[in-house]
Amino acid sequence: MVREFIRIVTSERLIGPKIQDGTFRKKVIEPTWHCPDGYSRLCLNIKNCDIEILTPPERNSEMVVLQLHGGGYIGKLKNAYRDFAKFYSDMRGGMKVFTLDYRVAPKHPYPAALKDAYQAYCFLKGLGYRGRQIILAGDSAGGGLALALCGYLRDQGLELPSAAVLMSPWTDLTASGASYEENYTKDPLFGNTRESMIYNGEYYGSHDPSDPYISPLFGEFTGFPRMLFQVGSIEMLLSDTTEAVKKAREAGCEVKETIYDGMFHVFQMAMNRMPESEKAWEEVAQFVNGVQEFSLGTVQK
């Protein structure tokens, strides 16, 4: 039913093209997000971008989550990711979640998002967190950005995060994977159109889309942290996950991959309102809770 609803909305003449080409992501106006009772939210500006810090009522872990949101590199932070942050904050008995609102294209194409992600990581380090205390989380473009950040940190000889949660990560902006053709008629969100935002190149602009800092699939995964990949079986970005997982395993990384049958792009947005999404979040919690705790006792509260 959900797949059919998405298909109908994206095929509707008036708003369908605006959803598929990214216009909706750029211009949507949302109501004010209300922080759940007992939680606190602090919004800060760090140089060229903003970051939101969600703190749960009880904080029993000094591990933190750095969340990089999706939106095709053209959509700013939306309320859905604030809901994601709440889910993450309840894991490990309670921990802080830092959600980055990075600069987006077309006004700020590559490398703006990567620079902002690096800046956010440095911000956490400045607060006293070590890489081993940081769990990256990202979906779609945010998932690709998380992998690009890992590659950048490694290449700079810097400490990487302890783990990464990657939901339908966009790892191949060249759209070269087999699923772009195999799932072309199945994908209810991006399928059946060549005008989709995944083909318009607004993020990479004049840069080579196969640059590993843009498309992590074309880079090396050696030294990357423990990773959880989740993806839907009918989405065009399926091969972005399966091929990345293959490369990560070849590089000796610890990887868990789950392909959810019949699911669409970032179906986890249904939260606990759909069985498959609820199961996916349970898997995320199990993965995050299983990351080894690391504490220095010097983190700024």
Catalytic positions, please?
140, 235, 265
Tokens for 29? 């106006």
Distance between first and last Cα of the chain: 45
In 3D, which of 94, 14, 16, 93 has the Cα closest to residue 54? 94
In 3D, which of 149, 151, 86, 85 has the Cα closest to residue 122? 149
Residue 225 phi, psi (nearest 5): -75, 175
Residue 178 phi, psi (nearest 5): -60, -30
Q: Which ranges of the chain would DSSP assign to H, the alpha helix?
A: 2-11, 16-20, 23-27, 79-89, 112-126, 141-155, 179-182, 238-250, 275-289
Tell me the sheet residues that pair with 68. Answer: 100, 138
Environment class of 33 (CB within 10 Å of its CB; exposed 0-12, middle 13-18, buried 19+):
middle
Round to whole Å and give the CA distance between 80 and 65: 16
Pairing label, strands 226-232, 163-167: parallel
Angle, CA 246 vertex, CA 232 and CA 174 arms, to 5°: 70
Q: Assign residue 115 a region (left: φ > 0; alpha: ψ between -120 and 50; beta: otherwise).
A: alpha
Compute and round to an integer the Cα radius of gyration of the chain: 18
> Could you tell me how many helices (H) and strands (E) the chain has, helices first?
9, 8
